[in-house]
Amino acid sequence: MNNVLEIIDLEKHFEDFKAVNGLSFNVKEGEFFSILGPSGCGKTTLLRMIAGFVEQSSGDLKIRNKDMKGIAANKRPVNLVFQNLALFPMMNVEENIAFGLQRQNLEKKEIEKKVEDILEKVHLKGYGKKEVSQLSGGQKQRVAIARSLVLEPSILLLDEPLGALDLKLRESMKIELKKLQKEFGTTFIYITHDQSEALVMSDRVAVMNNGRFEQIDTPKNLYANPKTSFVAGFVGEANIFTATYKNDLQICLNQDKEDFVINVNFIEKVSDKCKLYIRPEAIILSPSKDIKDLNRFNLIVKTILFDGSNTKLLTQIENTSYELLVSLPQNKQFAHIKVSDVLEAGVDYIDCKTYAS
């Protein structure tokens, strides 16, 4: 597939500070591409450079092979959906959506047809005459997206558009946004600090930290094969331990006086110190005696963190002070677990990831 956006060595400096620091990446036509990172990492600055609201300090930015340097925001084939949506409160839904089309000097009939079509596509048929104030949060969201998509941009830029919605609505809007994007086939570049939004909706996610990308990958790969310590800690939940290299197949956890040895499959030895990341779902409860290559230990249940199908146990490894967060399988065998129970447990050699710290 063709690249709709090409970015080469892009930087934005605010005096001595590099908010965006030497980024190079491409986004493909029709892709849902998210930029995920903590507050202040440079996401908005990057998005605003793509939109043309912020001028780049250096590097190249091309949309559909055309260099965007010096091209004003309103002349770029992109549209930006803001977190606060920026709908016009004194206009009804139809007028809000028609606003951009009127500025393109289209005929009235054509505008009406486009508005009607897009309202149907975003499941708001019959809402054209409603005032913005009469709409729910989710409906406002869809009007804001319709207003941008009706202009048929090459890229739709979305700046944390679900941030203002309550949790339940955010969950349903994630699915809705993903569906809309597939239906329209428009390239979405979506910025968020919420990993679950990025993982659920995106074809690829760039994890950003201190103005740089740490990893660009599919949600599945980011989760299963994080390339850096930052990505492993930021994407998904993980039990994180500091550890020391013992030999090529073993490391020691060393918060306790007594060493706790963990067998691992592979260590890329950069230094003697490493960090160990274990996902809660990587811990096997009541493992069969037949499984080979398993680190085995007992866990004492300290707290049950009930969350429906995502219920977790906060446990302590027996005879140590190490705490371990464990996913509770949806399985009758574990239905009656209670605090203070002692469970046999294990973790595969391969699920341990180590990084030089």
Residues that bind ligand ATP (CB under 6 A): 14, 19, 37, 39-45, 193
Tracing tokens 């605003």 back to the chain, one arrives at 48
Shortest spacing between CB 85 and ligand ATP, in angstroms: 16
| 10, 24 contact by CB (below 8 A) | yes
| Spatial CA neighbour of 198 closest among 258, 158, 149 | 158
Residue 55 CB, nearest approach to ligand ATP (Å): 11
Amino acid identity of residue 154, one-letter, is S
Q: What is the DSSP letter of 134?
A: G
Nearer to ligand ATP, 84 or 242 (CB): 84
Please say which residue, 47 or 276, places its beta carbon nearer to ligand ATP.
47
Query: Which residue lies nearer to ligand ATP by CB, 142 or 193?
Result: 193
Report the largest interatomic distance among the alpha carbons of the chain, rounded to a whole angstrom.
Answer: 79
Closest contact distance (angstroms) between CB of 209 and ligand ATP is 10
Cβ closer to ligand ATP: 45 or 315? Answer: 45
Nearest distance in Å: CB 44, ligand ATP:
3
Nearest to ligand ATP of 43, 76 (CB atom): 43
CB contact set of 220 (below 8 Å; sequence gap of 6+): none
The torsion angles phi and psi of 175, rounded to 5 degrees, stand at -70, -40
**Shortest CB 203 distance to ligand ATP, Å:** 21
Q: Minimal CB distance to ligand ATP: which residue?
A: 44
Three-state DSSP at 45 gives helix
* The token pair that represents 295 in the structure block: 């680190």
Q: How far is the CB of 335 from ligand ATP (least distance, A)?
A: 41
At 120, list the tokens: 């149907």
Which residues lie closer than 8 Å to 56 by C-beta, 6 or more apart? Answer: 10, 11, 12, 20, 49, 69
The residue assigned the tokens 């493909």 is 28
In terms of CB distance, is 55 or 183 closer to ligand ATP?
Answer: 55
